[in-house]
Amino acid sequence: MTADQHATTPQAATGEHADLLAALAKQRHFLRFTARDLTDEQAGQAPTASALCVGGLIKHVTSVERAWSRFLVEGASAMPDFTKLTEADLAKRADSFRMLPGETLAGVLDAYAEASDDTDALIASLPDLGADQPLPTAPWFEAGTRWSARRVVLHVIAEIAQHAGHADIIRETLDGAKSMG
């Protein structure tokens, strides 16, 4: 399946599940749309004051979807204790925001499409969006906080939307193309 075929997700979900899947699909479309017609080189360029690039943002969102999907299944144990990350862990995390030698935009988009499909199948299968789990240890989470599956999906939607905006600014800086307007 190509990345363009993921603009809408054919799911048998109904109600709130379908609404969340539609919101995910919309934000994913905007993020992928920023990458249209870019070369691998352009997808890896960071032309703004930030170190972010379009390809790296798509890679990052792919890892975000995979991590939160694992969280929905396994709970906090699916994620590291963020207060104990080593320099090597931080370097690996930074690599998720950039295109590395040998990576292609097509490969990054394919990985994102696969992660999106997996996330969608998981969300569609969740029997209770209100089921909650404790969050992993991280300086940005209050100790003892629990998130429902619904809250996790809303967080992923917000993360994609935020990074789609970043990608749009980067794309406009690269060649003047915009997602909207």
Answering whether pTM is above 0.75, one says yes
pLDDT at 181: 67
The residue behind tokens 């599940």 is 17
Residues 126-160 pLDDT 10s? 999 999 999 998 888 898 999 999 999 999 999 99
What band does 8 get if pLDDT is binned at 50, 70 and 90? very low
Rounded-to-integer distance, Cα 74 and Cα 24, Å: 21
Handedness of CA 166, 171, 176, 181 (dihedral sign): negative
Residues 52-91 pLDDT 10s? 999 999 999 999 999 999 999 999 989 888 889 889 988 8
Rounded-to-integer distance, Cα 96 and Cα 55, Å: 10
8-state DSSP, 45: -
Joined together, the tokens standing for residue 140 give 């940005």
DSSP H or E run through 132: strand 132-134
- Residue 148: strand pairing partners: 132
CA atoms within 13 A on the CB side of 6: 25
Rounded to 5°, angle at Cα 50 from 91 and 159: 75
pLDDT at 179: 85
Angstrom distances, CA of residue 37 to CA of 40, 157, 164: 10, 24, 16
pLDDT at 7: 39
DSSP H or E run through 141: none
Joined together, the tokens standing for residue 46 give 């960071």
Residue 95, C-beta contacts closer than 8 angstroms, at least 6 positions apart: none
Evaluate if residue 26 carries a pLDDT over 70: yes
Rg, C-alpha atoms of the chain:
17
